[in-house]
Amino acid sequence: MIPVLVAILFYLPRPNIEAGFNVQILPLFHAVLNSATAVMLLASLYFIKRGQIKAHKVTNLIAVALSSVFLLSYVTYHFFTESTKYGDVNHDQVVDAAEKAAISGSAGIYYFILLTHIVLAAVIVPLVLFTLLRGFQSDFERHKKIARYTWPIWFYVAVTGVVVYVMISPYY
């Protein structure tokens, strides 16, 4: 449901209303949230490897909270703004031949990272929810089985969110 909502936002006409604040600060905020999520996931892994269950649980819940704030903020940003085009130096929503030539070497890398980030971001939401549910139900065997997939995907999504921001930030 969430990926469908986000996809729809990219095609809806932008509303003629003001957000009440400068939404242009949100991409940086998203990168900070993704960075903090990645740190919490590393801490979570550290704690569980040392048998510190309570700290593991707390860091995962913080990571979920950070990811939830990210999702709400991301939807807000895309509700109020047009998508930023990679390489659009003059901000006219068109990447002309000269702009394409300037980014030719990095465009493939950017779009590969972006595509894998988007696909795995859609996959990670149910994985996180099922992993949390199994942990809360004290079904630790099934929790561990799914966490083996959830953790690396979630970590990848968090880190590549920052990489995507760094790569596209010159074009905001």
Contacts 24+ apart (CB under 8 A), 16-21: 19/76, 19/80
Judge whether residue 2 has pLDDT over 70: no
What's the Cα-to-Cα distance from 50 to each of 43, 46, 62, rounded to whole Å? 11, 7, 19
pLDDT at 6: 67
* 125 and 1 Cβ atoms separated by less than 8 Å: no
pLDDT tens for 41-58 read 999 999 999 999 999 999
* φ, ψ for residue 85, nearest 5 deg: -95, 130
pLDDT tens for 5-36 read 666 766 667 667 887 889 999 999 999 999 99
pLDDT at 151: 98
Q: Cα 151 vs. chain centroid, distance in angstroms?
A: 14
For 16, which DSSP code?
S
What is the band of 3 on the pLDDT scale with cuts at 50, 70, 90? low
Q: What is d(CA 150, CA 144) in angstroms, rounded to the nearest whole number?
A: 10
Give the CA angle between residues 142, 145, 146 to the nearest 5°: 90
Q: What is d(CA 96, CA 25) in angstroms, rounded to the nearest whole number?
A: 26
- Mean of pLDDT values over 154-170: 97
pLDDT at 81: 85
pLDDT at 10: 66
pLDDT tens for 107-160 read 999 999 999 999 999 999 999 999 999 999 999 999 999 999 999 999 999 999
* 86 and 111 Cβ atoms separated by less than 8 Å: yes
Among the residues of the chain, which ranges form H helices?
2-11, 26-49, 53-80, 97-136, 140-168
State whether residue 155 is helix, strand or coil. helix
Judge whether residue 38 has pLDDT over 70: yes
Of 1 and 67, more confident: 67
